[in-house]
Structure 1
Amino acid sequence: MTEYARGFESLVIHAGQEFDPATGAVIPPVHFSTTFAQDGIGGLRGGYEYGRSGNPTRTALQTQLAAIEGGAHGFSFSSGLAAEDVLLRAALQPGDEVLLGSDVYGGTHRLIARVLGPWGVGLRVVDMSDLDAVRAALEESAPKVLWVETPSNPLLRITDIAGLAAIGHEAGALVVVDNTFATPALQQPLALGADVVVHSTTKYLGGHSDVVGGGLVLNDDALAEMIGFLQFAAGAVSGPLDAWLTTRGIKTLAVRMQRHSENAAAVAAFLEGSDRVARVYYPGLASHPGHELAARQMSGFGGIVSVALESGTAARRFAESTRLFQLAESLGGVESLVNYPDAMTHASVRGTEAAVPVEVVRLSVGIESVDDLLADVEQALGA
């Protein structure tokens, strides 16, 4: 099917989604079985023997993930952090170092610093959007992994992926891009030179706030073999229903990201025009320092808007005053959410180089009526 489905909007619907040969069902069935009958000892049908080592529903999702990111190998996990953990253990040994962006998801920093750190993995932090700062950090010592989010979480810094890949590879580093915020609908890191793409599929790929998952996409065969072994041996795989829900969400990714971007742009413009707002972080605004780079590197600016109020107290009051924007962690669902990073998603990095300013609130702008969203933001600012 995919030989006829080459455009992104077609790939999200058809990659890995061949009709069921037994019944002709257009939607492939969900395979709940934990084990698979063998035709004699070792005679596996389709290579399936046990649910942890492989499942047809998970295989379909992994095919879909690889196709939409333009990679050779896709892997699906039970969470974004499970995906990150397997990647890092596949790529690192005790004594190796990770150079991490200074504005990343708090759970990524926590995983490296507090889980892999005692195992012997070093961590340094740098502003990845400043390539000169990255070069200086690489000259100081060569990390094994260079890890960036772009747009970053939650301050939406934009990093030049092609430039970062060039200097990272010159230093012998594996260049990893967390593409959760942009999604492959808006940005293709592998095509820009990255080695591995990471996703929390919980967010925009699933898109409906009803499934937790993670994904990796890459081209390197040897690294993929190690990731596949750890996926099997450690076992943090996505279950069949989780895989199916993620696949279903991905099928509408292109149209959802268009609406998320349109609504977010309207919210960002409204906030920038308010005298109650100190600063708006959104790469679609001409005032954003990464706007021109984002316009070249991305086909849209995404659905996340962060805003700095006049103080931490004002930020908390705003976050607790929205009505349509629900106060909750996570992002990327069809419904709008508001989050106070310092005490919620990024509480684990308080006091570190990755700490989020207390006056910052993050908005995950959904696909509701834009007029309703603007009215909610206006009344929350009034609070």
Structure 2
Amino acid sequence: MKEQTQILHSIPVDELTGSISVPIYQTSTFVQEAPGVNKGYDYSRSNNPTRKALEDTIAKLENGTSGYAFASGLAAIDAVVKLLKTGDEIIAVDDIYGGAFRLFTHVYEKFGISINYVDSTNSDNIAKVVTSKTKLIWIESPTNPTLKISDIIAIAAIAKKNDILLCVDNTFASPVSQKPIDLGADIVIHSATKYISGHSDLIAGLVITATQELGDKIKFIQNASGAILGPFDSWLALRGIETLSLRIRQHAENAQKIAEFLIQEKLIKNVYYPGLPSHHNHDIAKKQQKYFGGIVTFDLVIDDKELATAIVTNTKLFKLAESLGGVKSLCCLPCEMTHKSIPAEKRYRSGVTDSLIRLSVGLEDADDLIADIKQAIEIAVKQTAEIIAK
């Protein structure tokens, strides 16, 4: 069965009514036949039919045993970290999402969980720092925002050899493009806010596990902590999944054209996109991803925040906003937006300069998006002529 067919028919028809769209069970509680005797549902924090449909669907798409839906991507990350205890260590990708860095460093470090940030594009860097305290390896591939690619198979082998859990943030790739569990990961997470929903209209997070034993632990944490996704947002995420394959394909096609345009621009120093042969670990991306994704990042030959700001504030189709993965194109300046919580020195070490611009390429016509970038650069050059002259 082809992927688009599989996606559409992995979402169940309602058994009670035959509804082709999963019903929104907007209820807090369920009537029981007798104390403890029910139809599988007693309270919507513990379980809800709409949320369960989403959880079962994402588990199928990621080839996992179970899936769990949370109120945000960070709530999903938080649930995974709660598998650990005081004294444990996380090895995390250095080019990490700013919200994850904030959670790891400013919340969990004070509870005695240490974080070791490494460049995971070379799996040997991870192998070198593994200790007896290491209990979790955390990678994004591609990373946010410089789109670094890590060899998931190689890192999974290191994790298994040392009895360490491997969690892969698959937000940028999506299950249409990459299936980390098939590559050896124990846990996959998504900010479903992004490509899963695809329309910039909800906040959600997903956790998928390779084994039911691990899934049961996540389920316990989900119920105990209570950061669950509501029925309506679960339904919105399911609706987004129906077009996921089609959208990812178009996002990637547009992004490839934009990346190829950007490498010709004189004002641009580096273009980060896994689909470019010049991209570090391009060959690994080709091996483990079906598509190269819809995010393109670049920095300027003049590493100046004012010049970069002038570009992102003069686009017309690319809207200046946080987030990514929606049908409409967005742009952002990570140093002042998504990654502002990361100290400047650490940002620079991982490649997040003051002039780094991240594009979330939408589903508009690629030629129109390229024209928009061109005119924004032209205006920015005029506005910052003195900076460029220096």
Alpha carbons 2:121, 2:149 under 8 Å: kept: yes
Is 1:319 the counterpart of 2:312? The answer is: yes
2:284 to 277, 290, 293: 293
Corresponding residue of 2:161: 170
Residue aligned with 1:342, SS: coil
Supply the AA of the counterpart residue of 2:26: F
Alpha carbons 1:52, 1:232 under 8 Å: kept: yes
Is 1:192 the counterpart of 2:188? The answer is: no
Structure-to-structure mapping, 1:206-217, within 5 angstroms: 206-217=197-208
Corresponding residue of 1:8: 3
Corresponding residue of 1:225: 216
Corresponding residue of 1:281: 272
Structure-to-structure mapping, 1:262-277, within 5 angstroms: 262-277=253-268
Supply the AA of the counterpart residue of 1:301: F
Residue aligned with 1:185, SS: coil
- How big is the shift at 1:152? 0.5
- How big is the shift at 1:12? 2.0
Corresponding residue of 2:110: 118
- How big is the shift at 1:40? 1.5
2:96 to 100, 104, 112: 104
Is 1:26 the counterpart of 2:17? The answer is: no
Aligned positions, number:
374
Corresponding residue of 2:144: 153
Post-superposition Cα deviations, 1:196-232, rounded to whole Å, max 9, x if no partner, equal 0010000000000001000011122222111111111
Supply the AA of the counterpart residue of 1:200: S
Supply the AA of the counterpart residue of 1:38: Q
- How big is the shift at 1:41? 1.5
Is 1:253 the counterpart of 2:244? The answer is: yes
1:365 to 361, 365, 375: 361
Residue aligned with 2:6, SS: helix
Supply the AA of the counterpart residue of 2:137: L
- How big is the shift at 1:368? 0.5
- How big is the shift at 1:171? 2.0
Post-superposition Cα deviations, 1:108-152, rounded to whole Å, max 9, x if no partner, equal 1111111111111101100000122112112x5651100000001
CA distance in 2, matches of 1:353, 1:7: 43
CA distance in 1, matches of 2:303, 2:354: 7
TM-score (norm 1): 0.95
Alpha carbons 2:87, 2:133 under 8 Å: kept: no
Alpha carbons 1:142, 1:172 under 8 Å: kept: no
Post-superposition Cα deviations, 1:363-382, rounded to whole Å, max 9, x if no partner, equal 00000011110100111111
State the Cα RMSD in Å. 1.2
Is 1:85 the counterpart of 2:78? The answer is: yes
CA distance in 2, matches of 1:154, 1:18: 35
Alpha carbons 2:335, 2:354 under 8 Å: kept: yes
CA distance in 2, matches of 1:218, 1:24: 30
Pair 58,357 (structure 1): closer, same or farther in 2 beyond 3 Å = same
Is there any run of 5+ residues in structure 1 with no aligned partner, and where?
1-5
Corresponding residue of 1:60: 53
Bigger mean CA offset, 290-299 vs 338-347: 290-299
Corresponding residue of 1:3: none
